[in-house]
């Protein structure tokens, strides 16, 4: 990850430079964790560029249904042709010593199969969110990784992102006092024909795809687990895109302390990802909060005013995320967002859908 001195000075002002210092100034680590990328789509491209900017990780294999695309990417990343696999011959990866871990970047309904096949091949697994499309699949993924003795991390990139971390650290320091309420949303206008609109591939609509950011954020901001749920769904669209998954979903979750989170997601309109946290002594607002870059934190409490645009640029979140997982692999540490974290969200997603009258 590279930052200008000015950007680094801003991170210092945020009190976050130390967190980044090793990746900013260290020489490349002696050990580079090798990743096989499974599914060469949009997020895989960003993840790979994040890995390229890291100190301790590299792309060493590709798994794709399109060999021509894989060959182009292999040339760019210095991956040998012999380390390109199809979905059918993926299991041969067991013999590839350059691959320590796989990154699963497939449509959601394929996550469980490839995570489990990777674990059986003795490879550590970092899997995109949502972890899978059912609680049972998540449990099978965790069991497969445990029995193979490999690590499993869910790619919740906001846990490795400075604006989100700063919001959490302000809340934990007591700056805004006892939390009372959270508002959060994330959504976009999805194009017809995308696999995300087909429940067989996606497992659900905007809730599992982008609403999950609000769900997960409400949990890491409060540090609590939600105990009750209410939800409404609606299909307003008239062009036939939403025959398989919901278009809009709004839900509320109540936490044990009494904090209520009001959340919304959509595939039918532009909904910038944000959260606003209301406390007894002030508020914190991250808007945008979930984009790849350009995040912005504002807060007011006890005479303090914060107005901090985040200068870090895409793919910084993917670099810190990959560095974290590689570090866990190299030093036998538990990832901050293990499979159990993805499983918890999947259980809450099932509760939210149940409250909305939809079965997962
Ligand atoms: P894309 O459609 O861009 O890429 C998915 C890739 O999966 C395809 O390019 C293809 O790769 C492979 N694939 C295999 N079978 C199919 C199939 N039947 N239909 C479509 N693709 C298939 O998706 P995204 O990259 O946007 O999303 C992939 C995963 O990443 C999802 O789980 C999503 O939720 C998650 N995601 C996470 C984000 C984050 O910020 N953390 C952001 C965006 C997505 P090939 O041609 O090589 O076979």
Per annotation, catalytic residue among 77, 213, 220, 267: 213
Angle ∠(278,251,215) on CA atoms, nearest 5: 65
What's the pLDDT at 23? 45
Residue 198 near ligand 1, beta carbon < 6 Å: no
What's the pLDDT at 327? 98
Angle ∠(139,275,194) on CA atoms, nearest 5: 60
CB-based contacts of 157: which residues, under 8 Å, 6+ apart? 317, 318, 321
Q: Is the pLDDT of residue 1 over 90?
A: no
Q: Is the pLDDT of residue 18 over 80?
A: no
What's the pLDDT at 26? 45
- Spatial CA neighbour of 195 closest among 186, 182, 205, 183: 205
Kindly report, residue by residue over 124-155, the tens digit of the pLDDT: 999 999 999 999 999 999 999 999 999 999 99
Per-residue confidence at 55, pLDDT binned at 50, 70, 90? very high
On average, the pLDDT of the chain sits at 93
Kindly report, residue by residue over 311-345, the tens digit of the pLDDT: 999 999 999 999 999 999 999 999 999 999 999 99
Q: Is the pLDDT of residue 194 over 80?
A: yes
Active site residue 213: yes
Per-residue confidence at 7, pLDDT binned at 50, 70, 90? very low
292 Cα nearest atom in ligand 1: 40
What's the pLDDT at 67? 98
In this prediction, residues 80-107 reach a mean pLDDT of 98
What's the pLDDT at 28? 59
By the 10 Å C-beta count (0-12 exposed, 13-18 middle, 19+ buried), 145 is classed as buried
- Spatial CA neighbour of 343 closest among 132, 199, 115, 147: 132
C-alpha 6/C-alpha 288 separation (Å) is: 21
Q: Residue 13 CB: number of other CB atoms within 10 A?
A: 10
Q: Is the pLDDT of residue 223 over 80?
A: yes
Which of 106, 159, 194 best tests ligand 1's pocket when mutated (most atoms within 8 Å of CB)? 106
- Spatial CA neighbour of 290 closest among 160, 189, 196, 181: 160
Which of 36, 38, 40, 43 best tests ligand 1's pocket when mutated (most atoms within 8 Å of CB)? 43
- Ligand 1 centroid – CA 209 distance (Å): 11
In this prediction, residues 270-287 reach a mean pLDDT of 98
Residue 71 near ligand 1, beta carbon < 6 Å: no
Active site residue 254: no
In contact, 119 and 125? CB cutoff 8 Å: yes
Residue 39 near ligand 1, beta carbon < 6 Å: yes
53 Cα distance to chain centroid = 18
What's the pLDDT at 81? 98
Residue 42 near ligand 1, beta carbon < 6 Å: yes
């Amino acid at each position: 990850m590279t930052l200008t001195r000015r950007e680094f000075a801003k991170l210092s002002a945020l009190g976050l430079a130390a967190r980044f210092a090793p990746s900013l100034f260290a020489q490349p680590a002696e050990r580079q964790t090798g990743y096989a990328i499974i599914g060469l789509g949009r997020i895989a491209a960003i993840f790979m560029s994040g890995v390229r900017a890291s100190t301790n990780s590299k792309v060493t294999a590709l798994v794709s249904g399109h060999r021509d695309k894989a060959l182009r990417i292999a040339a760019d990343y210095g991956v040998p042709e012999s380390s390109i696999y199809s979905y059918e011959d993926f299991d041969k990866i067991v013999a590839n010593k350059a691959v320590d871990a796989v990154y699963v970047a497939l449509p959601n309904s394929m996550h469980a199969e490839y995570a489990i096949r990777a674990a059986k091949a003795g490879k550590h697994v970092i899997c995109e969110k949502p972890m899978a499309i059912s609680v049972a699949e998540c449990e099978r993924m965790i069991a497969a990784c445990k029995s193979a003795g490999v690590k499993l991390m869910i790619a919740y990139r906001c846990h490795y992102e400075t604006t989100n971390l700063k919001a959490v650290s302000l809340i934990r320091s007591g700056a805004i006092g006892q939390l009372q309420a959270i508002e959060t949303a994330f959504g976009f206008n999805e194009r017809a024909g995308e696999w995300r609109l087909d429940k067989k591939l996606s497992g659900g609509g905007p809730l599992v795809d982008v609403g999950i950011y609000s769900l997960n954020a409400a949990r890491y901001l409060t540090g609590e687990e939600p105990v009750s749920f209410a939800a409404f769904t609606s299909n307003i669209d008239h062009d036939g895109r939403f025959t398989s998954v919901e278009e809009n979903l709004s839900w509320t979750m109540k936490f044990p302390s009494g904090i209520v989170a009001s959340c919304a997601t959509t595939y039918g309109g532009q909904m910038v990802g944000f959260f606003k946290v209301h406390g007894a002594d002030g508020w914190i607002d991250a808007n945008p909060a979930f984009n790849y870059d350009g995040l912005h934190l504002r807060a007011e409490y006890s005479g303090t005013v914060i107005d901090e645009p985040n200068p870090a640029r895409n793919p910084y979140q993917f670099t810190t995320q990959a560095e974290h997982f590689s570090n866990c692999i190299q030093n036998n540490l538990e990832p901050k967002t293990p499979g159990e974290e993805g499983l918890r969200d999947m259980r809450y997603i099932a509760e939210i859908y149940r409250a909305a009258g939809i079965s997962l």
